[in-house]
Amino acid sequence: MRPSRQDTDMVEHKIYNMVMVHNEDQVLLLDRQHDDFSGFIPPGGKVDFPESLTASAIREVKEETGLDVWNLEYKGVQHYVNEEQNVRYLIFYYVTDSFTGTLLADSREGNPSWFQKSEAMELPMQDVVRTVFPLFFQEGTFELYLHAEVEASDYTEEILHT
């Protein structure tokens, strides 16, 4: 049974993060080749309860790349609403050029590598990653709203600059 618009107690919320680590004209991406979210992607992952959003972003970068990051700048949020599954995914986006460490040679989430920022958009990546990629480097913050309605084969997309 799908909850009514007024009954949000039945809606599940899943919270994630994504961090664009960059070094001058290079960006750090994972070559993710498993599950339903394959392609090149910035590091990030699920926010574990009860950790903070920023602490989870720092932890995910360390686990997936071997790098220690700090000075994370909040860039925006994406929320993907799937009415059929009664779930809302929230993804918080950050960018940083502050890091130390050595890249992992192998990561279960995908091998991390540096790419020229100007060439990164040519890599295979999910549509949503391609959509937010330039937003990491624009002034201000953004909100990306994706809504998959019941019995719809596609979703609506709206980008708000805040």
Average pLDDT over the chain, rounded to an integer: 89
pTM for the whole structure: 0.88
Report all structural domains of the chain as residue ranges with CATH numbers, in order of start: 8-161 (3.90.79.10)
Sequence-ordered alpha helix ranges (H) in 66-123? 117-120
- Coil vs helix vs strand at 3: coil
b/e sequence 93-110, b meaning 16+ C-beta within 10 Å: bbbbeebeeeebeebebb
Give Rg (Cα) of the chain: 16
Please answer whether residues 142 and 159 qualify as being in contact, where contact means their C-beta atoms are separated by less than 8 angstroms.
yes
pLDDT over 70 percentage in the chain: 88
φ, ψ of residue 160 in degrees (nearest 5): -115, 130
Average pLDDT over residues 86-106: 95
- Rounded Cα–Cα distance for residues 148 and 161 (Å): 21
pLDDT value of residue 1: 46
φ, ψ of residue 113 in degrees (nearest 5): -150, 155
pLDDT band at 5 (very low <50, low <70, confident <90, very high): low
* Residue from 127, 131, 112 nearest 37 by CA: 127
Average pLDDT over residues 63-81: 96
- Rounded Cα–Cα distance for residues 34 and 108 (Å): 9
- Rounded Cα–Cα distance for residues 108 and 110 (Å): 6
Render pLDDT for 116-159 as a digit per residue (tens, 0 to 9): 999 999 999 998 899 999 999 999 999 999 887 655 556 677 78
